[in-house]
Amino acid sequence: MSDIKKVVLAYSGGLDTSVIAKWLQQTYGCEVVTFTADIGQGEEVEPARAKAEAMGIKEIYIEDLREEFVRDYVFPMFRANTIYEGEYLLGTSIARPLIAKRLVEIAEATGADAVSHGATGKGNDQVRFELGAYALKPGVKVIAPWREWDLNSREKLMAFAAEHDIPVDFKKAGTKSPYSMDANLLHISYEGGILEDPWAEAEEEMWRWTVSPEKAPDEAEYIDLAFEKGDIVAINGEAMSPATVLTELNRLGGKHGVGRLDIVENRYVGMKSRGCYETPGGTIMLRAHRAIESITLDRESAHLKDSLMPRYAELIYNGYWWSPERLALQKLIDETQQNANGEVRIKLYKGNVIVVGRRSEDSLFDASIATFDDDAGAYDQKDAEGFIKLNALRLRIAARAGRKMK
C-alpha cells in the first residue's frame, strides 16, 4: 500500500493530465486533487471541472491567475530586460514558478502529501516545477508519471483513456497535432513536427497570434506607453491593470506582425531544442522598457543591469525563480527602477517595433550639455584632454614596454 494518500495534480483537462489523474488513482491508490490555472492560455478552463468530476475527483481548483501572473512574475522579469541566449523572452519559463507555488499552497490547504505534473523527462518544465515545489515545501513528494510509467506514446495514452472511460474529447485528441504547444498571456510556443529539422521553415499556418509581416497593415500605428517604476501602467493615456496591458499589447503587436521568433536553444537538461515563439506584447514591452531606462538610469546602473541580466535569465530558464540569488538580484533590479517613470512612443510597422520618442520628469538627459550648438559654457571641452590621457596611461606604458597590441 502506498504511503501517498492525496496528490495535487497540475491539471489542464487534456489527454495527458486526464490519463495521469486516473493513473495516480490506480497506481498509488490515492485521492487526487486537481488544480487548473488560467494564465491566459486562450482556452476555456472551466470544462476541466466536468472532466475531473467524471473521474470521481472531489476537490477541484480552477483559478484565474492572469493578474498575478503578469504583476508578480512577468513585470518583475521585464524590469531586468530579460532574454535567454540573446533572443528568448522566457514565456514558458516564467509561468512555472506561479503554478508550482499554487500546487504547494493547495497541498497545504487540502492536507495532501504529494504534488504531480505532466512534464516529460526530456524537458525543462520538470525541473522548474520540482525546484519550485521543493523550495516552497521541502518535504513534499513529487510524482512525475512520465518518468515512471510505460505510456510513452500518444497511442498508448489513447488506449489507456479508452480502457478506463476517461472523458477525453476523442475527436480532438485523435487528430495528431503537428506541434507541441504551450500558451499563456506572455507567449505561445511551438515544438515538434517539422520543427525538429532546424533547416525547415515553419509553416505560415502554424502561427496563431500574429499576422505575417508581409500581410501586416501598410500604415504604421503609434502607441504611447506610460511607465511607473519600470512597469507599463497605461496605453495611449488609458490606465490599465497588468494583465490588461499585456493583453492589449498582444493585440496590437499581433496585428502588425510583431514578436515571431525561431530559435535553437540549449535546454537545462543538456540537449538542444528548436522552438518557435510568438511574444508580441513582450517584444513591445522589452523595447519600450529599454527606451525609458535610456533616459532615466545612469550609465553604471544600466551597464550593471546588462551585465547581470544573462545570469538572471538563466536562473529563470533553469527553474530557480525561488532561489536566494534570484531574489537578491530582484531587489537590486527593482531598486534601479525607482526613477524609471515616464512615457515612450512606439511605432509598429510590419514586424518592427520602433522607438520614436521618450520623455520623463526623472530624465537624466540634459540637452544643454549634450547639444551640438553653443552650450553657453555648460561643458568645458578642454576637460576631455586629461580624461583621455589618464585612461590611456596603462596603454602607453604597455606600448613603451614593448607589449604587442595585435
Whether 316 contacts 322, CB under 8 Å: no
Q: State phi, psi for 337 to the nearest 5 degrees.
A: -95, 5
Structure confidence by residue, pLDDT tens digits, 13-60: 888 999 999 999 999 999 999 999 999 998 888 889 999 999 999 999
Q: Given a cut of 90, is residue 375 above it in pLDDT?
A: no
36 and 16 within one domain: yes
Structure confidence by residue, pLDDT tens digits, 154-212: 789 999 999 998 877 644 444 455 788 899 999 999 999 999 999 999 999 999 999 99
Between CA 401 and CA 406, with CA 403 as vertex, the angle to 5 degrees is: 150
Distance CA 72, CA 193 (A): 34
Q: What is the CATH number of the domain that holds 129?
A: 3.40.50.620
Whether 120 has a binding-site annotation, put simply, is: yes
Q: Given a cut of 90, is residue 278 above it in pLDDT?
A: yes
Whether 363 has a binding-site annotation, put simply, is: no
284 and 224 within one domain: yes
186 and 172 within one domain: no
188 and 136 within one domain: no
Whether 11 has a binding-site annotation, put simply, is: yes
Q: What is the CATH number of the domain that holds 204?
A: 3.90.1260.10
Q: Given a cut of 80, is residue 1 above it in pLDDT?
A: no
Structure confidence by residue, pLDDT tens digits, 234-265: 999 999 999 999 999 999 999 999 999 999 99
Cell of 355: 522607438
H/E run at residue 253: helix 242-255
165 and 285 within one domain: no
194 and 269 within one domain: yes
pLDDT, mean over the chain = 94
216 and 129 within one domain: no
Residue 119, in any domain of the structure: yes
Q: Which residues are catalytic?
A: 16, 96, 125, 180
Whether 244 contacts 233, CB under 8 Å: no
Whether 180 has a binding-site annotation, put simply, is: yes
From the centroid of its chain, how far is CA 149? Answer: 30
Residue 138, in any domain of the structure: yes
Predicted pLDDT at 46: 87
Domain stops at, among 176, 210, 228:
176
Percent of the chain with pLDDT over 70: 97
153 and 190 within one domain: no
Residue 219, in any domain of the structure: yes
Residue 288, in any domain of the structure: yes
β-pairing, 114-116 vs 6-10, is parallel
Whether 397 contacts 331, CB under 8 Å: no
Whether 294 has a binding-site annotation, put simply, is: no
Domain housing 210: 182-297+339-359
Structure confidence by residue, pLDDT tens digits, 326-342: 999 999 999 999 999 99
Look-up of cell digits 497535432 = 177
Residue 279, in any domain of the structure: yes
